[in-house]
């Protein structure tokens, strides 16, 4: 049954001065709130390896943020910002970013009404030569445009064109332009696969030192990929969440990662809400496979509430592993709109590392699904003890 939640019940006062506009000089010097056994304490993030139970599997999202904002100029001189949201043709992130000469993306466009029929042109330099990136508006739906990009250097992939001519998107609530430091600090140190337009920010606190300490403590790690969309910043405008449409995000989980999950069920901690959504979606992919013997390509936002999901997680993960092996597949590739909110019951993860989220957001609902009404106490403590909030802010460990 779809949960009857009034989003106003998940609000709190967040003063602007508590939003971290910049990261700390040292990633792992951030504060860490620990919620365990119904008690709250605090430490620094560098001590995370000491706090995780023996045998924990820590799961990271290894997505990489692309330079998805492109600033064009119309012939009048007016700026038009084109923000790449998700690939359209080819519709695979990997294929679209590897495309040469042309590709199409669904984009958010600033000054969309002012962009008439003309193509927008942006000159860029590469190896001492000038080339041109062209953008043509193909269609508009629900305030977003399908934009065809083309460029006159067939040696360059679209990923390389973005790297040269695009701007790294930082969260809108920072109310500042992207600065040089953001190109390093708004990426996790383990990011690998390009596709996100927002960082999985719980991972921004990790350093080589913390990763080495995890290894020395016998804490196992695994990686999944979920490309974070701009919808992560989308506010819940409906008064009840049943009228909120959750954004879809592409994810991929390898056979190797599934086998690691199987070995550590009951001891899995997700790094960030994106990893949590990805891992919980795996359960419902497997549930559908068990029921219909079809590997579903999309998990709808209400699927967890339409299925009792009483089958053991071990049975589900075994089914997925066997299916991939029997069909010569190396990974699961799908998209998810899953909305995790009270009274959601977690099937895969038993804990989470996560930052502090905006009021009345789906990310706060996810935290509430794990902590119950104690989320209020957690956030009250963070506000009263000078924790920094949102993407560049401090973090929490919820067990």
- On whether both 304 and 375 belong to a single domain, the answer is yes
Contact call for residues 34 and 42 (beta carbons, < 8 A): yes
- On whether both 18 and 82 belong to a single domain, the answer is no
Which pair of tokens denotes residue 199? Answer: 């960082």
> Among residues of the chain, what percentage have pLDDT more than 90?
84
- On whether both 246 and 371 belong to a single domain, the answer is yes
**The domain boundary residue, chosen from 116, 141, 167:** 167
* pLDDT grade for 237, boundaries at 50, 70 and 90: confident
Q: Is residue 131 part of a domain?
A: yes
Buried b (16+ CB within 10 A) or exposed e, 146-161: bbbbbbebeebbbbbb
Q: Give the CATH number, domain containing residue 206.
A: 3.40.1780.10
* pLDDT grade for 1, boundaries at 50, 70 and 90: confident
Q: Is residue 221 part of a domain?
A: yes
pLDDT of the residue at 389: 98
The CA dihedral of 213, 257, 364, 238, to the nearest 10 degrees, is 160
Q: Is residue 95 part of a domain?
A: yes
pLDDT at 233 over 90: no
Q: Is residue 96 part of a domain?
A: yes
Count of domains for the chain: 2
pLDDT at 153 over 70: yes
- On whether both 339 and 389 belong to a single domain, the answer is yes
pLDDT of the residue at 362: 94
- On whether both 347 and 255 belong to a single domain, the answer is yes
Residues in the chain: 399
Contact call for residues 339 and 36 (beta carbons, < 8 A): no
Tokens 């999944």: give the residue: 224
Query: Which one, of 115, 95, 113, lies nearest residue 105 by Cα?
Result: 95
Question: Mean pLDDT across the stretch 268-287?
Answer: 97
- On whether both 291 and 386 belong to a single domain, the answer is yes
Residue with the larger pLDDT of the pair 273 and 229: 273
- On whether both 284 and 390 belong to a single domain, the answer is yes
Question: Mean pLDDT across the stretch 138-167?
Answer: 94
Tens digit of each residue's pLDDT (9 = 90 or more) over 297-347: 899 999 999 876 689 999 999 999 999 999 999 999 999 999 999 999 999
- On whether both 76 and 56 belong to a single domain, the answer is no
- Residue 111 lies in domain: 69-167
pLDDT of the residue at 309: 67
**The domain boundary residue, chosen from 142, 167, 192:** 167
pLDDT of the residue at 48: 98
pLDDT of the residue at 318: 97
Tens digit of each residue's pLDDT (9 = 90 or more) over 79-122: 899 999 999 999 889 999 999 999 999 999 987 887 877 899 99
Q: Could you tell me where the beta strands, DSSP code E, fall in 165-319?
A: 193-196, 220-226, 249-254, 268-271, 298-299
Q: Is residue 175 part of a domain?
A: no
**The domain boundary residue, chosen from 114, 138, 167:** 167
Distance from C-alpha of 282 to C-alpha of 142, rounded to nearest angstrom: 30
- On whether both 59 and 101 belong to a single domain, the answer is no
pLDDT of the residue at 307: 76
- On whether both 247 and 337 belong to a single domain, the answer is yes
- On whether both 312 and 386 belong to a single domain, the answer is yes
Q: Is residue 269 part of a domain?
A: yes
Question: Mean pLDDT across the stretch 363-381?
Answer: 97
Average pLDDT, the chain: 94
Helix, strand, coil share (%) of the chain residues, nearest 5: 30, 30, 40
Q: Is residue 263 part of a domain?
A: yes
Query: Which one, of 48, 58, 94, lies nearest residue 223 by Cα?
Result: 58
Tens digit of each residue's pLDDT (9 = 90 or more) over 28-50: 999 999 999 889 999 999 999 99
pLDDT at 193 over 80: yes
pLDDT at 354 over 90: yes
- On whether both 264 and 246 belong to a single domain, the answer is yes
Tens digit of each residue's pLDDT (9 = 90 or more) over 56-69: 999 999 999 999 99
Q: Is residue 273 part of a domain?
A: yes
> Among residues of the chain, what percentage have pLDDT more than 70?
99
């Amino acid at each position: 049954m779809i949960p009857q939640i009034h989003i106003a019940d998940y609000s709190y006062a967040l003063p602007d001065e508590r939003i971290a506009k910049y990261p700390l000089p040292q990633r792992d010097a951030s504060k860490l709130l620990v919620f365990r056994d119904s008690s709250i304490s605090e430490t620094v993030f560098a001590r995370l390896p000491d706090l995780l139970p023996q045998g924990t599997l820590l799961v990271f999202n290894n997505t990489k943020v692309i330079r998805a904002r492109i600033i064009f100029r119309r012939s009048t001189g007016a700026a038009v910002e084109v923000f790449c949201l998700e690939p359209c043709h080819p519709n695979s992130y990997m294929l679209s970013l590897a495309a040469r000469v042309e590709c199409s993306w669904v984009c958010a466009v600033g000054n969309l009404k002012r962009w008439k029929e003309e193509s927008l042109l942006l000159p860029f330099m590469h190896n001492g030569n000038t080339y041109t990136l062209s953008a043509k508006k193909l269609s508009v739906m629900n305030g977003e445009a399908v934009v065809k990009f083309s460029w006159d250097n067939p040696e360059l992939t679209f990923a390389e064109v973005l790297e040269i001519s695009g701007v790294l998107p930082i969260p809108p609530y920072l109310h500042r332009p992207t600065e040089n430091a953001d190109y390093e600090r708004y990426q996790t140190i383990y990011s690998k696969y390009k596709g996100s337009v927002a960082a999985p920010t719980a991972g921004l606190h990790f350093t080589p030192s913390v990763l080495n300490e995890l290894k020395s403590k016998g804490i196992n790690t695994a990686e999944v990929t979920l490309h974070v969309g701009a919808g992560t910043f989308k506010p819940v405008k409906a008064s009840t969440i049943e009228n909120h449409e959750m954004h879809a995000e592409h994810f991929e989980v390898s056979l190797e990662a599934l086998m690691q999950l199987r070995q550590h069920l009951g001891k899995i901690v997700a790094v960030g809400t994106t990893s949590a959504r990805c891992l919980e979606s795996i359960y419902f992919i497997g549930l559908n496979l068990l029921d219909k013997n079809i590997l579903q390509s999309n998990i709808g936002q209400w699927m967890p509430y339409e299925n009792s999901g009483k089958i053991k997680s071990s049975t589900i993960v075994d089914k997925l592993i066997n299916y991939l092996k029997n069909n010569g597949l190396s990974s699961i590739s799908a998209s998810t709109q899953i909305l995790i909110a009270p009274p959601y019951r977690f099937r895969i993860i038993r804990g989470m590392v996560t930052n502090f989220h905006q009021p009345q957001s789906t990310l706060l609902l996810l935290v509430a699904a794990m902590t119950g009404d104690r989320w209020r106490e957690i956030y009250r403590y963070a506000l009263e003890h000078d924790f920094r909030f949102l993407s560049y802010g401090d973090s929490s460990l919820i067990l």
